[in-house]
């Protein structure tokens, strides 16, 4: 038990030492980064004061990334300058070599050439530079011209494609503008129509409100007049409400007696006495018998084919 306890305390102490070591390492790295950024800013601004900024972990990290990027860029620029210097040295040595050969072998120098020869030589050099050839041989010039011709055709083809796309886009844009204008006109018409309908609805609402107020006013005036007439001794059955109620009852009664009226109307054609009714029945029987005999004669008179 004691041994295990000592081991546990030892592990905890080791962890505390590791944690403290990591904290010190991170703090030292942060301090070194901040110092490097400060030196870089002093180098950039020189004698000028460094602008104030909020110093925290985030700003220091951002400035450190910018510092590293600038240092890499400066290295690239330095390498490029050194490469250009090396090339310039090589070109100068090559020019001096060919100048010595031309001067010693052919006796040619810049002063011995005529003005026209110097002009032609200058044009040749400028053409070589424009065509980006390695030398001034005809093969290099022909190759460069062929390459430029191919690039010209490719550029022309690309320009034609771009022009075609531009025309297509122009047509689409024109159609879109026409559609947009039509939509704007439709929206404007719809707004005008809605405004007209809104104005008409407001007028109708005002009229309805006026009629409602007028109806309430008339009801009040009728009620007041009826109360005055009742006070003067008028019968209650002659009031507006009583007359309306009586009218509704009369309409209901007329609707109820309508079937009775139809039933009574069916008896209006009957004779007023039983003997007369018997005579009517006998006449109807004789008429029916006569019709049957006539129908029989017409059937017998029809021609039938023998089979």
Scanning the chain, the segments in alpha helix (DSSP H) are 2-45, 57-101, 115-131, 138-231, 240-265, 274-300
Instruction: Kindly report each contact of residues 16-22 with a partner whose C-beta sits within 8 Å and lies 24 or more positions away, as own/partner.
Output: none
CA-wise closest residue to 145 among 137, 121, 120, 158: 137
For 75, other C-beta atoms within 10 Å of its C-beta total 10
Average pLDDT of span 194-207: 91
pLDDT band per the 50, 70, 90 thresholds, residue 22 = very low
CA-wise closest residue to 128 among 91, 155, 153: 91
DSSP calls for 115-173:
HHHHHHHHHHHHHHHHHT-SSS-HHHHHHHHHHHHHHHHHHHHHHHHHHHHHHHHHHHH
Q: Could you tell me which residue, 103 or 296, shows the higher pLDDT?
A: 296
**Angstrom distance (rounded) from CA 271 to CA 277:** 6
Q: Contact at 8 Å (CB) between 237 and 246?
A: yes
Average pLDDT of span 289-303: 74
Tens-digit pLDDT profile for residues 245-291: 777 888 888 888 787 777 666 656 655 667 776 777 788 788 888 88
pLDDT for position 188: 92
- Fill in the DSSP letter of residue 56: S
pLDDT band per the 50, 70, 90 thresholds, residue 187 = very high
Tens-digit pLDDT profile for residues 211-226: 899 888 888 887 887 7
Q: Which residues contact 63 (CB under 8 A, 6 or more apart)?
A: 37, 40, 41
**Angstrom distance (rounded) from CA 74 to CA 76:** 5
pLDDT for position 272: 62
Q: Contact at 8 Å (CB) between 144 and 132?
A: yes
**Angstrom distance (rounded) from CA 266 to CA 259:** 11
User: Is residue 29 scored above 80 in pLDDT?
Assistant: no
Q: Which two tokens stand for residue 5?
A: 């306890």
pLDDT for position 14: 56
Helical axes 138-231 vs 240-265, angle rounded to 10°: 90
pLDDT band per the 50, 70, 90 thresholds, residue 235 = low
Tens-digit pLDDT profile for residues 101-159: 666 665 666 566 677 777 877 777 777 777 777 776 778 778 888 888 888 889 999 99
User: Is residue 232 scored above 60 in pLDDT?
Assistant: yes
pLDDT for position 286: 85
Tens-digit pLDDT profile for residues 31-86: 778 888 888 888 878 788 887 777 788 888 888 888 888 888 888 889 999 988 88
CA of 113: how far to CAs of 92, 122, 144, in Å?
A: 21, 12, 28
Q: What is the pTM assigned to this prediction?
A: 0.30
pLDDT for position 242: 72
pLDDT band per the 50, 70, 90 thresholds, residue 185 = very high
Q: Contact at 8 Å (CB) between 109 and 102?
A: yes
Instruction: Kindly report each contact of residues 198-206 with a partner whose C-beta sits within 8 Å and lies 24 or more positions away, as own/partner.
Output: none
Q: Is residue 235 left, alpha or beta, with left meaning phi > 0 and alpha meaning psi from -120 to 50?
A: beta
Q: Which residues contact 95 (CB under 8 A, 6 or more apart)?
A: none
């Amino acid at each position: 038990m004691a041994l295990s306890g000592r081991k546990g305390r030892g592990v905890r102490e080791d962890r505390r030492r590791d944690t403290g070591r990591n904290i010190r390492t991170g703090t030292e790295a942060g301090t070194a980064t901040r110092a490097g950024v400060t030196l870089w800013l002093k180098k950039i601004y020189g004698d000028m004061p460094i602008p104030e900024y909020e110093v925290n972990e985030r700003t220091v990290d951002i400035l450190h990334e910018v510092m590293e990027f600038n240092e890499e860029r400066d290295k690239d620029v330095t390498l490029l300058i050194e490469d250009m210097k090396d090339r310039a040295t090589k070109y100068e040595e090559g020019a001096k070599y060919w100048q010595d050969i031309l001067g010693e072998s052919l006796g040619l120098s810049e002063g011995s050439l005529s003005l026209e020869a110097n002009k032609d030589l200058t044009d040749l050099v400028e053409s070589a530079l424009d065509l980006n050839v390695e030398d001034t041989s005809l093969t290099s010039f022909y190759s460069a011209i062929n390459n430029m011709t191919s690039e010209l055709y490719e550029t022309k083809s690309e320009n034609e494609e771009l022009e075609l796309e531009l025309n297509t886009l122009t047509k689409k844009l024109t159609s879109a503008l026409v559609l947009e204008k039509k939509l704007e006109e439709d929206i404007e018409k719809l707004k005008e129509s809605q405004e007209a309908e809104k104005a008409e609805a407001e007028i109708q609402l005002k009229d309805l409100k006026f009629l409602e107020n007028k109806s309430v006013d008339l009801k009040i005036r009728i009620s007041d007049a009826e109360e005055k007439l009742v006070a003067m001794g008028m019968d209650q059955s002659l009031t507006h409400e009583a007359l309306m109620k009586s009218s509704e009852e009369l309409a209901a009664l007329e609707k109820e007696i309508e079937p009775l009226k139809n039933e009574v109307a069916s008896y209006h054609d009957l004779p007023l006495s039983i003997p007369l009714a018997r005579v009517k029945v006998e006449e109807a029987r004789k008429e029916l018998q006569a019709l049957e005999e006539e129908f029989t004669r017409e059937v017998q008179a029809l021609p039938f084919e023998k089979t």
